[in-house]
Amino acid sequence: MKKFINKIDDVLVESLSGFSSAHSDLVSLNLEPNFLTRKQKAANKVALISGGGSGHEPLHAGYIGYGMLDAACPGHVFTSPTPDQILAAAIAVHADKGILFIVKNYAGDVMNFEMAAEMLPFANELPIESATVLTSDDCAVVNSTYTTGRRGVAGTVIVEKCVGSLAETGADLQACKALGDKVNSRTASMGVALTSCTVPAAGRPTFDISDTELEMGVGIHGEPGRRREAMREADAIVSDCVEAIITDLKTRAILTANTCEALLLINGFGATPLMELYLIYNTALKLFNQHGIQISRSLVGNYTTALDMAGASITLCLLDDEIKQHWDSPVHTAALRWGR
């Protein structure tokens, strides 16, 4: 294993310290317990908190700032944050209108955020109300060793952006949760890996895969996908991903019209060149158009990574006027910014 590491036990704190220093105008870092918050605490709004295992950067710390998150709780690599991290972050950013937790559907994340939510009403002089949006956009599998049900993957970014926009308007907690649930329900993702990732503490690839194979439907922690198959040309790989997404949205009765408008997110897993990601976008755009899906919003790059995995995911979110409005609204974070 060759990585830019000093001591494995220090990787997280050193990385968080570097991130907070590089973006000191946007975020503040708290250690013991570890969490990051906006540099300038927001007032009189629903506070959005997300988090999960590290290794998916820029998710979630990269999305702290105006128009997105108020705080992020990073666990160790591919390890859930603890309830005390989440609770401390919630108390720090509470802005008098409650806390909305945005949680990817992995067993440890769900359990620990639930525990923090149960403790929150008793952790302050005045009770703090909370609600949770559970992201579950991965259509590759229904169940896995990490989840009960669908996994939350790159679609989480879209949820965080849209709900973050609504929260900035002063909307109440239930309205923010309702929008988050709607965006999640209208989103589907499919990922494919060409190589494994290597968790620093393990020191070896999470799974073995040859140069002539790919893993279709892989998860963002290197979880097994739908199937292992022979490497093929990009068009064939993208076609399978697009068909899986369309089938999923139709099966759930989300995609019903002959034509519709959508956001297309092509997400790299950390070791895939942008040249290849744009090639994937080019093919996916044509295929979705053939199905009557008009791509009117797009995002291409590394937004929900898996350490050093070579691979990518395709995410489609079906738009309506409300989602489009909140996607387009100004955002200013380390990893996502426009309109401000």
Contact 302, 58 (CB under 8 A): yes
The span from the CA of 223 to the CA of 234, in Å, is: 22
Contact 100, 76 (CB under 8 A): no
| Catalytic residue chosen out of the listed positions 23, 60, 94, 221 | 221
332 is catalytic: no
Which amino acid, residue 147? T
The torsion region of residue 79 among left (phi > 0), alpha (psi -120 to 50) and beta comes to: beta
- Provide the token pair at 245: 């997404």
With tokens 């008098």, the residue in question is 96
56 is catalytic: yes
| CA dihedral sign, ordered 168, 169, 174, 177 | negative
Give the CB-side neighbour count of residue 254, counting CA atoms within 13 A: 22
| Catalytic residue chosen out of the listed positions 56, 76, 94, 326 | 56
Contact 215, 47 (CB under 8 A): no
Contacts of 284 (CB under 8 A, 6+ apart): 238, 241, 242, 264, 266, 314
Beta bridge partners of 49: 71, 101
Residues annotated as catalytic are 56, 221
